[in-house]
Structure 1
Amino acid sequence: MSDGADLARLREYDAQLEGLQSGQCSLQQGEQLLKDFDKLLAQAPLSVGASELNALRERLETHRVALQQLRSRTDRAELLGDGAKKRQVLKAKTQAEAEHSEVLELKSARDEMRNQLERMHYVNENLQDSSRTIGKTQDALQEYDSKLASAAKALGQLKRKTEEDSRYIWWSFYFFMAVVAYIVLRRLKVFKMIYYGISFGLWSTNNVLDVLQSTREALFGAVSVESDVAVVDAAMSLATADR
């Protein structure tokens, strides 16, 4: 229910409870109206206004005091004795008051059900909005996940390509340095000097080997001659001894 409707009903209860002062409202009606007034005032939203709510609370206390005074007067009148006629009048009014009280209770129940229905409708709208928001968030997360997977795939391909390019660059650099070194060494005739050095080394090695071979053969030849002479001497000595 809207704030304006609540405020209008509170003012209506206030006006009806004013009948307690002039006798237009019976004790039972006043009690029921006071109960409904108190209940509706407790459920009133803050948007009605703090000053308006405070004024209505003061009116409620005034009506409560008036109802207590009316109850005291009624009890005192019944105790004084002329309550037979009043009881008859009260009995005649009881049915109408009960019907009126029942109508008020039904109205209050209807208003309460209407308030609950409006609250349920409001909660349902909030739930639908939350569901739509969650759905949009889920769609955005799925899109972000797909984009992240695509980015990771592209990054992997870029990394592999970068590694291949880096490897090609290093091989190209090594080849370039080898060519530069070859050109520089050739310009400086280093290869020719190396060739001459190797050739000289091989020639020197061959000469040394030849000299060593000749020396060994000479040594072996001298040893062989000495051995032959020794053998001949030994043979001659043996022959002389036999004679």
Structure 2
Amino acid sequence: MDRRSFLRSSSALVGGAALSSLAGCFGGSGSSSPPPRRAQVFEDVSLDGRQLQIQFVSDPRVESRVETTEGSLAVGQLSPVGVASGQKGGGGAARGSGSYSSAPRGRHGWAVWHAGNDDDDWRENHQDELRMYPAMIGAAGVAYLGSDQRYEDDPPDAGPVPWDKKWENQQDGESHTVPLSEAAPSDAPREGWYRVGTKLVGEESGTDFGWQGADFEIDNEGTWQIDKAWHVRPRV
């Protein structure tokens, strides 16, 4: 799976551990399909021994297609936020088998699920519809998604999952330390796939922008480390 190739890139280093590339479905979104939205949510996600370290940015922002009134978000005028459907079966297997090596990279060097070569063309054609909005993190959660094999066979869609740990009403720039044994409830840390998710809410409008997150694989090869990580976001 080229499991260390991206870790060797200095641009992939995030804090004490590399969130280098997650298993995600990389397929060109095509000029007719909206790309994954852009957002600024995570300042850092890393591992310190067996402790998962999560830090959020102090000024979250989220991209959306909207109608505006005097430059502000017109509540109720949001274009529908599409959900990036997970591909099952063979597509799901490809999500965890190394396609990250050719996937476009986002902030932190993480691969971007469902991003494609035509994304810039799509944005150019829809530039009048797009805007970045100030947001708040209304809720956040951590979930264990399962073993490598289970995740490859049936990767979850963008959006919420049954959270093993959840926080409400996050403060700007807030951080959390979560033992792996709590992130994946068990007597001992578990290898496999995890999701850190955030629910974004418009700072000015209160508009619900839904959930997005990062999926990543944690391995134990003498030391616990993050192997692959992806931004997993709905389409804009």
Structure with more of its chain in strand, by fraction? 2
Larger CA Rg, structure 1 vs 2: 1
Could you say which structure has the greater relative contact order, defined with CA pairs below 8 angstroms and 6 or more residues apart?
2
Structure with more of its chain in helix, by fraction? 1
TM-score range, shorter chain: under 0.3
Query: TM-score, length-normalised on structure 2?
Result: 0.20
